[in-house]
A and B are shown apart, each in its own frame.
Chain A
Amino acid sequence: MSNETAETHTGSDIWADFREGYVPRDELDIHPSLTLHTDQAEEIDPITHEVLRHRLYSINEEHGQTLENVSGSPVAYYAQDFNPTITAEDGEVIFQGPYIQFFSPIAELQVKWILENRSENPGIEPGDVFLSNDPWIGATHQPDVHFIAPVFHDDELFCWVVNTLHQYDIGGINPGSFCPGAEDVFHESSPMPPIKIVEGGELREDLRQLYLRQSRLPQMVGLDFNAQIAGVNVARNRLREVIEEYDAATVKGVMHQVLDDAESKFAQKLEKIPDGTWRARSYMDGAKTGDSDIYVGEVQLTKEGDTLTFTNEGTEANQGAMNLTYSGFRTGIMSVVNPLMMYDAMWVAGGALRHIEIETEPGTFTHATWPAAVSTGGQIGIEFVIALVNDVVARMLASSPEYKRDLISGTHESSGAVAQAGIDQWGNEFGTMNLDCMGLGGVGASPHKDGIDTGGVYWAPKAPIPNMEYNEQDYPILYLYRDEVEDSGGAGEYRGGAGMHYCWKPHKTSQIGNVLAGVGGAIPLSRGISGYPGAPIRPRVSRDSDVDERFARREIPARLDDLDGDLEILPTKSEDVQGPTDVWEVRTAGSPGYGDPLERDPERVAEDVRRGLVSREAATDVYGVELAGAGTDVTVRELATEEHRAELRERRLANSVIPAEVA
């Protein structure tokens, strides 16, 4: 009998997975020695449901709190670069925490792959924990390390708890493990497919060392390791307590009801959205450091009945260091669908995923095949996909009178993070990622409200940026300014969110090594809906500037252009050594507006001018608003505005041509 079943179990084709990315089939091939717990109570009274739903959600919150508490590393804490997840026995995502959104839907792939390929050898047993960071199974890039733990009831696999936490450094040619100059994955940290790091409650010390040995900062990663183990243990214990208190079938019944409720909410929305196909295209600026070409990427969304199908047809081949694997593309979809369509279902991703099909082309830079370099996937590829998916989902919602109000015109137009290293002002070695990159105008406008100025990234609902004083204490930098950027929020009847400048010089050190990994510097990633796009990222440096002389004259320059130095705009993938009088400035992206700027309430335009978020020129030229007064005392000239807006409309008519006639 055991021989026979052993022959019938093959799992998935792991070498195909490692090459093209794991795409789970509808029926998983799980070794018969492992029994999944499927017994669920059908009749659960609504009160028990509500009580248990809250309880399960709070268990997941406690899991997240444990990660935050035990880790305590700035990357994990300030960027809240982690997320806890509870999945059903077969991997469907039930609860995800309010942290980095693209970590949770990806957990499903890790769980399914483990069920298929680890259920026989080494086996899945109570007390086990698996560790994985393999982007070809489920990770946007290698630094996102997943800890995946089965929860058993009696001898049956009841459900899974998973957490994912971004490690500051896990190896590869650049400190920080973003390697924008990588030729292929062998320049980067090694992908680890799921390994059983804890066996029946016993930590495998050999494997722990193998893992920590990859990092430049093994102690910091070791602390995160402890946090991740503590997190899954806490969640697992709490779930066992709940199962004991309410019995397994009831708890499982509620889990499935939560999924079913989310599914039916999603399906009901789809009923009120017309069928159709929506397309988005954007351009990747440079495949790696030193490359100035642009590369086309596309996303198509077809809505037919109760199914959404996403494809990436028309996307160029994977190359350089800009690539994202299948799992990243898939999780990018949920990072958009959750906030735009699942806000009334607590972002229960599994419910929506039952109605989502993905048909991507392997070998493209948004579905990369091994051995393409993918370590920037979590910063570059994922942003690229999220922006395009936002475009198509927002357009789809715009076609539905019922759900048009829910659309967000777009996310931040581009992104980029600066990894910094050197000797700090206290004489010690340092390495960090400057988390000011999270200070974006990442929530675009909606049909009823403006986007959020410097509201942060939209797939991380609560992530703070560090105080300037925190960064100046811990790293050898001195800020000249950090401010909201004029005209960076896309124009529209409702304006997009504004981005932020952060500008610094090395302080009490001789130099800082900066590695920038970004996307969308040349062309905004998102078109928005009928409004204008926001401003994209713009990294600049003023070399050999007169900053010290200015300081000596008791002046703090408020703009980089005010400095006397050699001004240079940097590509979004670059490496640089910053000398003592080289001043760096990064402009983070804004997001698109919604609707016609000529329809914007002129009073709000005047207010934006007073706040320094819209320039006088843009107020007149783009919004058609004529202002009187100067500086912060401007007021609207109503008649002049009406006239100017009429004139602009006429000019538009005169300039408009039908493309067919041009031909």
Chain B
Amino acid sequence: MGYLCNVDTGGTHTDAVVIDENGDVTEAKAPSTPDDFARGFFNSLEVAADKKGLGLGDLLSESELVSHGTTVGTNAIIEGEGTRSALLTTRGAEDVIFIMRAATGRSKGLPVEDVLRYQESRKPDPIVPKERVHGIDERVDCMGDAVVEFNEEQARAVAARLAEQGVDAVAIAFLWSFLNEDHERRMAEIVEEELDDVFVTRSSDLIPKWGEYERTTATAINAYIGPTSADYIQRIDEQLSGYGYDGTLLVMQSGGGVMSAADAVREPIRTIDSGPAGGMIGCRYLASELGHDAVIAADMGGTSFDIGLLTGGEPLTTPTNVINQYEYMMRTIDTESIGSGGGSIASVDTESGRLQVGPRSAGADPGPACYDQGGTAATVTDADLLLGFLDPEDFLGGRMTIDDRPARDALSAVADDLGMSTVEAASGVVEVANAKMADMIRQRTVNKGYDPRQFTLYAYGGAGPLHVPMLARQLDIDTVVVPGGSTASVWSAVGVSSSDILHRREVSNIMTAPFDPDAVTAQFEELESAVVADLRAEGFDDDEVTINRYADVRYQAQVHQLSVPVPAGALTGEDMQTVVDRFERQYEERYGEGAGYSESGFELVTTRCDAYGETTKPSRSADQLSGQPEPRRTDEVYWPTVEGYRETARYHGDDLGEGAVIDGPAVITMEHTTVAIPPTDVCEVDDRNNYVIIIGGQQ
């Protein structure tokens, strides 16, 4: 096998990660190039190739897979720089995307502090301006019957108007089109007849599911970012071929899995928020290797702390996602983010004298005070340095120097306001940051019916391996895994490289129990034949294809829907009963005993198929070392968890290999991250170079 390359475009940097057949990882960074992100893409690969002593062409022609996490779509929405798009709706539903289901439009996805501050509250700018939203005379009802036939003449007049308006993308989202797509299909044909070179997307094709607001936003967003994203992906794909790469570019999806460039061109909406999904897929792969069923994946970087859950070895997903306060339908790996990272700023509220950490961040520029790039605000990283966790002599593999004087100045200002010593204040900053992260984990687990004590905590991202192990005790979690040692800092990229190709199709067609097994089977088979055809066209053999069926079920007249697995093959009445039983059991597990309402009957709302085409996985292995490692030196480190200094052994990752056992308190410096092993805990390095920390593991 050849190289696995992954490029991840971020706001300031584009990261390339190249994994060779031995599992060795090469990382490279280049500045992101917002005027044309493709330049940064190839620059970062060129730096990586250079590190390996190769030319870009050599690297790419010997690459087996090139995968990519893009933020082009996300940026277009956040910056309001999408294309000149239009939206066609059923007449009477033109304002769906402006009304935004009322209060949800001003509050969705925002932290509670912002929701409560009406003085600053507002709805976001429209995705499509009103003058380019047009109603069409047509109507389908909840049984799929056409109540008003499609008005061909009026529709054609609207298409002519679109041509006048010079639109280059058209979204079509009619009411109930997921039950009867005739009108939407006809509309798309007319648009394509009347307009040249236009990007057309219709809701019955993109996401044929129940609920017009979230379906319409999905369709409108797909059109809004369509042409720009398509152009970008196509250009990269073509240039890759030019350099000798003979595969297709694989693009990360927020729902888990990658997709071919061709699919990303058609449905760029699937790339929005795909960043955290890569890490989660890496965790899924690792969890299957380690035999972990239930995992809390915690990613702490410079500005944010993201978590997601795996249960039964699979990442939890949600049927919708939120961007810029718009909720839209697209099954997305369920991660949540708070502004708590290494760059989070500590401050003291002047009125109450209380210490606050985040959500403001010093970001990469100017960065924490200790970077000495002009930042004067005290950050979590400054506190980490002052407490003795970071090695000023050896930070980021020596590529960056950090200075404890500005860090001390910044924190002593905080300390003065609090009436504490500087080190106590630094400890307080870490404690508050850790407590917020622990609260969030509690909210994501306990509040949703999951017991954190049954989970293993995975810690990655630049700051994760330092902070996350300290959370475990607060949550009564007994094991923390730092995946791949130093690789933990680029875990998302590793995850994308280990992702399978995913084709996901779903459709709403509300049926009432008792469900007709033949009708349900037919619906699944239709979905399956489509996804299998897609995978075959991409060159997958049947034995490389895995298909999972799901049904979204609810109690009639109740609002919560749950996705439950459905058996394969021709379904029987017994199978349908299994689906209902699974739903009831899952409902109780999720919402608590007595929450079920079986008297009201059941509805099967949506059927879904996830089909995976297996790709090559990176191999990862630990170095073989003889004997137990020696610490490089011993430092006095102040541990917030015990509120005091402890003699702490400092190791270097280069000295560690399979079978190494390190007793806490200890700190392991690595090229891209630092692992902290709290007092009384113990860390072992396994055969895949994972650092497994057993909480309270010391006898």
Contact = CB atoms under 8 A, between A and B. Distances in A.
B130 to A, nearest CB: 5
B599 A500 contact: no
A417 to B, nearest CB: 14
Interface stretch (B147-155, B492-500, B654-662): B147-155
A408 B119 contact: yes
Interface stretch (A193-201, A553-561, A638-646): A553-561
Contacts of B536: none
B119 A406 contact: yes
A649 B56 CA distance: 71
Contacts of A481: 91-93
Contacts of B600: 219
B351 A268 contact: yes
B106 to A, nearest CB: 5
A61 B142 contact: no
B326 interface: no
B139 interface: yes
B432 A50 contact: yes
Interface stretch (A134-142, A363-371, A461-469, A571-579): A461-469
A339 B116 contact: yes
A442 to B, nearest CB: 8
Given A339-B118, A463-B103, A453 B123 contact: yes
Given A50-B432, A339-B118, A455-B123, A478 B147 contact: yes
A462 B210 CA distance: 21
Contact of A482 (B99, B148, B555): B99
A470 B214 CA distance: 12
B559 A473 contact: no
Contact of A484 (B98, B151, B420, B436): B98
Contact of A467 (B139, B213, B348): B213
Q: Which of B118, B352, B353, B448 has the most CB of A within 10 A?
A: B118
A29 interface: no
Interface in A177-202: none
Interface stretch (B47-55, B439-447, B522-530): B439-447
B105 A455 contact: yes
A480 interface: yes
B504 to A, nearest CB: 22
A446 interface: yes
Interface stretch (B18-26, B107-115, B303-311, B686-694): B107-115
Contacts of B446: 62, 238
A526 interface: no
Contact of B99 (A426, A449, A454): A454
Interface string B410-427: 000000001010000001
Given A470-B211, A558-B91, 6 more contacts: A47-B431, A98-B115, A425-B142, A454-B95, A466-B101, A479-B92
A452 B100 CA distance: 12
Contacts of A70: 591-592, 594-595
A72 B103 contact: no
Given A456-B102, A464-B103, A483-B95, A47 B428 contact: yes
Interface string B546-572: 000000000101111000000000000
Interface in B124-140: 129-131, 135, 137-139
Interface string B281-310: 000000000000000000000000000000
Given A72-B595, A77-B559, A46 B354 contact: yes
Nearest to B436: A54
Nearest to B353: A46
Contacts of A45: 420, 428
A226 interface: yes
Given A61-B443, A453-B98, A484-B98, A219 B123 contact: no
A469 B211 contact: yes
B590 A69 contact: yes
Nearest to B560: A72
A554 to B, nearest CB: 4
A454 B107 contact: no
Contacts of B92: 479-483, 503, 556, 558
Contacts of A405: 119
Contacts of B129: 610-611
Nearest to B213: A467
B595 A454 contact: no
B117 interface: yes
Interface of A: 45-47, 49-51, 53-55, 58, 61-62, 65-66, 69-70, 72-74, 77-78, 98, 219-220, 223, 226-227, 230, 238, 261, 264-265, 268, 338-339, 343, 346-347, 405-406, 408, 425-426, 438-440, 443, 446, 448-450, 452-458, 460-470, 472-474, 478-484, 500, 503, 507-508, 551, 554-556, 558, 610-612, 631-633
Nearest to B327: A464
Could you say which of B93, B139, B213, B447 has the most chain A C-beta atoms within 10 Å of its C-beta? B447
B118 A443 contact: yes
A51 B355 CA distance: 10
Interface of B: 90-96, 98-108, 112-113, 115-123, 129-131, 135, 137-139, 141-143, 147-151, 154, 175-176, 210-214, 348, 351-356, 418, 420, 427-428, 431-432, 435-436, 439, 442-443, 446-449, 510, 512, 555, 557-560, 590-595, 597, 599-600
A227 B354 contact: no
B313 to A, nearest CB: 24
B338 to A, nearest CB: 11
A455 B98 CA distance: 10
Given A478-B147, A558-B91, A230 B443 contact: no
Contacts of B442: 58, 62
A242 to B, nearest CB: 11
Nearest to B420: A45
A110 B129 CA distance: 49
Q: Identify which of B93, B120, B352 gathers the most chain A CB atoms within 10 Å of its CB.
A: B352
A433 B335 CA distance: 34
Contact of A449 (B112, B115, B122): B122
Contact of B101 (A65, A467, A554): A467
B123 A474 contact: no
A438 B103 CA distance: 8
B105 A446 contact: no
B123 A452 contact: yes
A62 to B, nearest CB: 4
Nearest to A101: B116
A450 to B, nearest CB: 8
Contacts of B213: 467
B148 A555 contact: yes
Contacts of B443: 58, 61-62
A72 B115 contact: no
Contacts of A338: 116
A247 to B, nearest CB: 16
B137 A556 contact: yes
Contacts of A460: 103
A152 B90 CA distance: 57
B130 A611 contact: yes
A427 to B, nearest CB: 11
A61 B447 contact: yes
B112 A464 contact: no
A46 B428 contact: yes
Nearest to B98: A484
B432 A47 contact: yes
Contact of B91 (A62, A343, A556): A556
Contacts of B99: 439, 454, 465, 482-484, 500
B354 A49 contact: yes
Nearest to B139: A556
B118 A458 contact: yes
B432 A465 contact: no
A219 B601 CA distance: 12
A456 B98 contact: no
Contact of A46 (B154, B355, B594, B599): B355
Contacts of A69: 449, 560, 590-592, 595
Given A62-B447, A408-B118, A457 B103 contact: yes
28 contacts: A47-B431, A50-B432, A51-B431, A69-B592, A69-B595, A73-B559, A98-B112, A220-B597, A223-B595, A226-B594, A230-B594, A265-B351, A338-B116, A426-B512, A456-B105, A463-B103, A464-B103, A466-B101, A467-B211, A469-B212, A474-B557, A481-B92, A554-B138, A554-B150, A554-B154, A556-B91, A556-B92, A556-B148
